[in-house]
Structure 1
């Protein structure tokens, strides 16, 4: 993680969830001031309040006085609601304030959102996140950014307070586009590994043997390493991403590919697997146990 070399900024944050809490913690650590939306979905915030953060009752109040407003919510409907509601961010947005959307969103919605932010006098950047809450707390997220080059350059030191790798994907909405491509690939690989593990166990293969062969061959990579603790010992904590979020992201991927008019046959099969899980609250690694039970 790099630290910000700029003067402290006034930051507003909507969404102090599993990822947003780590973002907030590292912004405060870097010396920025922070106000956040008080919301039932927040993680415990006592540590943030002790470090100087302040809670606000509405998104409008979060935006008032902020130089940068970060959104870390579930998806496009939530982004639009928090921005455009009567007491939303736009109601309190000062001229030239930057709205940074760190959610996973539909690119066509992102383009419309950016236009409305610009019409209200603000500036917009999509900065979709990858990695896990653990890396968020460590200030080591990956960000995929869609923004004009000058805005990307301006905000890079701020983003580096909570991100280790920051990729500039292109203009506005490019960050969300590449994030959906990334999640299709990673969730698709997770689905393949889950099915393979279930089949391996049914065949009586030792888990360690499977992990050794996959890890040193065509199955090696980040997704296998996140699944490895669950395969080896039933520990899903390294891949704290719910099946519900996977289903949502793959649904966005379907909508995007519809708009682009490109093939998505494999994505349909992957989406069907996740969407067909009865308990959508389970973590992605737990698909392995589910498939093993029903194989």
Structure 2
């Protein structure tokens, strides 16, 4: 595409970095004004235009990028109160960077195509830090021609891109990724809680894991909290983690896969959410489990 106009819905923890990279790398940017946005002064200074409604913004954009919480929000933006599907022009591309239920993604992609548009799911991994740096990983589902057309835009805010298959495949890959990532963090946190009750110092536990089979990205995100009380490596809540593992369970059931370990991790997170800890960042999970 030759520098299409980009509209972003969801300028929050992850979406702000995406929007800033788009605006500062030569694209004309529209964004939806919303109470959940991070401060947008830098976007405005880069020439971006804020809109009051999603439908009006979509009608003025060639590509509409969604960065919202999950399937209910995506469905509402496209076919509910947001009215985006009814507002798009022929050829408009919808890029869904959210984490969503693949069955819904496939159905929404078909509706977008029936309305004359095109659809990509481009789920994200990594953190708000990498979003601001333009170094996200994107897990992509879409038809080859659409992926090729939108690739220059995706490259503007990502470092690695994995085209997993047709629409819905990106969200399937994201759920697989998050099951492994969040499952490992949950496992490590349970071990850390047990270690604390058993009198093993966190410094010794982390050092042992780092030099052995427990080393990896999950430990790198949990260790700063265990050692220094920091949660900046993983600003992702227990409720969001529960949402993703619930979506994974739905996908596993859809394809007939075993999800015994996923159910156990999901139950741990569900119990903590029901006890009032849903808004706690996941690195604090060991602390919450000790108290529990």
Q: Normalized against structure 1, the TM-score is what?
A: 0.95
Regions of 4+ moved over 4 Å: none
- Counterpart for residue 193 of structure 2: 198
Say if 2:135 and 2:159, in contact at 8 Å, map to a contact too: yes
Say yes or no: does 1:83 pair with 2:78. Answer: yes
Say yes or no: does 1:235 pair with 2:233. Answer: no
- Counterpart for residue 277 of structure 2: 279
**What is the Cα deviation at residue 43 of structure 1?**
1.2
- Counterpart for residue 9 of structure 1: 4
Residue 103 of structure 1: SS of its match in structure 2?
coil
- Counterpart for residue 34 of structure 2: 39
5+ residue gaps, structure 1: 1-5
- Counterpart for residue 54 of structure 2: 59
Summarize the Cα distance change of 1:84–1:218 in structure 2 as closer, same or farther, 3 Å threshold.
same
Higher relative contact order (CA 8 A, sep 6+): 1
Between the aligned partners of 1:85 and 1:241, the Cα distance in structure 2 is: 27
- Counterpart for residue 146 of structure 1: 141
Between the aligned partners of 2:82 and 2:137, the Cα distance in structure 1 is: 31
Summarize the Cα distance change of 1:87–1:132 in structure 2 as closer, same or farther, 3 Å threshold.
closer
**What is the Cα deviation at residue 88 of structure 1?**
1.5
Aligned residues, how many? Answer: 289
Between the aligned partners of 2:2 and 2:207, the Cα distance in structure 1 is: 49
- Counterpart for residue 185 of structure 1: 180
**What is the Cα deviation at residue 293 of structure 1?**
2.2
**What is the Cα deviation at residue 250 of structure 1?**
0.9
- Counterpart for residue 89 of structure 2: 94
- Counterpart for residue 293 of structure 1: 291
